[in-house]
């Protein structure tokens, strides 16, 4: 018999709502997943919530299992963890991660879910998509043993990158952010912290994830000659002004983009999307990542949560959405 679920929809820019959904019975190669948690990716999802996706990027920004189109109405999101209630024997009862919008239950193909390792709590597993972005960024950046690296922007993605960089032998990592409360997050991740004005220069590599022009400019200023900035920020339809005078040319500095939509060229011949996501889930066995789960709300509160996140009234890294009792 069909089951009823509920999904979050952006009705119009700045206006969200919960809608009922009728689920089909799963086919032989499908699973029915009952959601336990989803995560709000603050940067991307607040851009979607406010209608800030440029028309030229509508196709590129589509999420798996998205319904509707930008700017609205649209069902969006991509960090979901739940339990398989129906499907093949080897998956039934397992906790899985899926790149699915915020929805209390859903039916998807078997190959759309990845089993969460036993050592990774379900709540922490919502970070898999973010850690996957960090993995891809470091495949692009290719840091070397002993490098001096800064991560500018202490949001969800920047902190995930810093957490992984902290594992590289001899690499000294500094997280740079104007929010002094990020110092505690940096300490929990095992990296140094500095406000932008006090950040250490002469860096071999800077990963930029602040989504601000000022952050990108400061990233360039922190480089040693012939150093590289790897740009992870998504600006939506906002213009970015950057000064490329000074030492940009004489220092032979590089700005390189990185984006999770494609496997980094350095690993494209040997790693699939599924391999990259499975690696991210394995890395989440480290409890240090719990510091990125900075708040929690019930699913019914999600329209208000996204409005508050977009307005800056609710500070968060990854805001966790809980589905028990909806």
**pLDDT value of position 218:** 98
- Same-domain check for residues 195 and 211: yes
323: left (phi over 0), alpha (psi -120 to 50) or beta: alpha
What local confidence, expressed as pLDDT, does residue 43 receive?
81
Distance CA 279, CA 15 (A): 36
Instruction: Pick the more confident residue, 43 or 200.
Output: 200
Helix axes 182-189, 156-165, angle to 10 degrees: 30
Instruction: Identify whether 276 is part of a domain.
Output: no
- Identify whether 311 is part of a domain: yes
Positive or negative CA dihedral for 135, 148, 177, 213?
negative
Residue with token string 């990845």: 114
pLDDT of residue 2: 54
Could you tell me whether strands 293-298 and 113-115 are parallel, antiparallel, or unpaired per DSSP bridges? unpaired
| Cα–Cα distance, 68 to 7 (Å, whole number) | 13
pLDDT given at position 325:
62
Residues 135 and 251 placed together within one structural domain of the fold: yes
User: Same domain, yes or no, for 74 and 150?
Assistant: no
Identify whether residues 137 and 24 lie together within a single domain.
Answer: no
How many degrees, rounded to 5, is the angle at CA 96 between CA 19 and CA 70? 40
Domain boundary among 241, 257, 273: 257
| 165 and 55, same domain (yes or no) | no
In the numeric block, which tokens belong to residue 38?
A: 């989803």
Residues 225 and 326: their CA atoms lie apart, in Å, by 53
Query: Residue 241 sits in a domain of what CATH number?
Result: 3.40.50.720
Residue 264 domain-assigned? no
> Per-residue pLDDT for 1 more than 80?
no
- 149 with 162, same domain: the answer is yes
Sign of the four-CA dihedral 73, 40, 215, 60? negative
Interior angle at CA 48, CA 64 and CA 216, nearest 5: 105
Q: What is the mean pLDDT of residues 78-93?
A: 97
64 and 134 fall within a common domain: no
> What's the rounded Cα separation, in Å, for the pair 61 and 74?
12
List of residues 6+ apart from 68 with CB closer than 8 A: 9, 10, 74, 75
Q: Using the predicted structure, report yes or no on whether residue 324 has a pLDDT greater than 90.
A: no
Q: Residue 42's pLDDT is what?
A: 81
CA distance 15 to 111: 33
Residue 75 forms beta bridges with which residues?
67
User: What confidence tens digit (pLDDT) does each residue in 248-286 have?
Assistant: 999 999 999 998 989 999 999 999 999 999 999 999 999
Specify if 272 maps to a domain.
no
CATH number at residue 314: 3.90.180.10
Where does a domain end: 219, 242, 257? Answer: 257
42 lies in a domain? yes
The pLDDT value given to residue 315: 81
Its domain, for residue 175, covers: 130-257
Domain assignment of residue 104, yes or no: yes
- Mean pLDDT along residues 279-295: 96
Percent of the chain with pLDDT over 90: 90
Answer positive or negative: Cα dihedral of 121, 123, 126, 132: negative
pLDDT of residue 255: 97
Interval 6-16 mean pLDDT: 98
CA dihedral (268, 56, 131, 263) in degrees, to 10, reads 0
Candidate from 49-58, 159-168, 183-192 with smallest mean pLDDT: 49-58
| pLDDT band at 3; cut points 50, 70, 90 | confident
Could you count the other beta carbons within 10 Å of the beta carbon of residue 138? 21
Looking at the structure, tell me whether residues 24 and 91 fall in a common domain: yes
299 within a domain of the structure (yes/no): yes
- 122 and 7 housed in the same domain: yes
Residues 76 and 110 in one domain: yes
| Number of structural domains in the chain | 2
Q: 322 near 122, Cβ under 8 Å?
A: no
Condensed to tens digits (0 to 9), the pLDDT of residues 96-139 reads 999 999 999 999 999 999 999 999 999 999 999 999 999 999 99
Q: Are residues 123 and 178 in the same domain?
A: no
In angstroms, the CA 220 to CA 204 distance is 11
Mean pLDDT confidence for 36-58: 92
Q: Residue 205: inside a domain, yes or no? A: yes
Listed range (105-114, 232-241, 243-252) with the worst mean pLDDT: 232-241
Residues 122 and 139 in one domain: no
Q: Average per-residue pLDDT in the chain?
A: 95
- Separation of alpha carbons 193 and 181, rounded Å: 10
């Amino acid at each position: 018999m069909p089951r009823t679920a509920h999904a979050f929809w952006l009705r119009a820019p700045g206006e969200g709502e919960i809608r009922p959904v009728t689920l089909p019975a799963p086919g032989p190669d499908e699973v029915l997943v009952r959601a336990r948690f989803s995560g709000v990716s603050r940067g991307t999802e607040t851009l979607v919530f406010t209608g800030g996706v440029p028309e030229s990027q509508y196709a590129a920004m589509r999420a798996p299992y998205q319904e509707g189109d930008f700017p609205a109405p649209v069902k969006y999101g991509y960090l979901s963890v739940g339990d398989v209630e129906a499907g093949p024997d080897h998956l039934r009862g397992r906790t899985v991660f899926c790149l699915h919008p915020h929805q209390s239950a859903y039916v998807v193909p078997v190959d759309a879910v990845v089993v969460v390792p036993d050592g990774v709590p379900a709540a922490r597993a919502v970070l898999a998509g973010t850690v996957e972005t960090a993995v891809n960024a470091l495949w692009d950046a290719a840091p070397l043993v002993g490098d001096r690296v800064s991560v500018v922007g202490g949001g969800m993605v920047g902190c995930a990158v810093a957490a992984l960089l902290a594992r590289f032998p001899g690499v000294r990592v500094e997280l740079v952010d104007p929010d002094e409360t990020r110092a505690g997050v940096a300490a929990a991740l095992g990296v140094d912290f500095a406000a932008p004005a006090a950040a250490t220069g002469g860096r071999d590599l800077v990963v930029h994830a602040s989504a601000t022009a000022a952050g990108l400019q400061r990233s360039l200023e922190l480089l040693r000659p012939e150093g590289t900035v790897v740009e992870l920020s998504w600006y939506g339809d906002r213009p970015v002004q950057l000064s490329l005078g000074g030492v940009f040319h004489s220092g032979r500095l590089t700005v390189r983009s990185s984006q999770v939509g494609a496997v980094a060229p350095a690993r494209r011949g040997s790693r699939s999307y599924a391999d990259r996501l499975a690696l991210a889930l394995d890395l989440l066995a480290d409890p240090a990542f719990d510091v990125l789960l900075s708040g929690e709300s019930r699913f019914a509160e999600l329209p208000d949560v996204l409005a508050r996140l977009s307005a800056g009234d609710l500070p968060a890294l990854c805001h966790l959405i809980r589905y028990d009792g909806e």
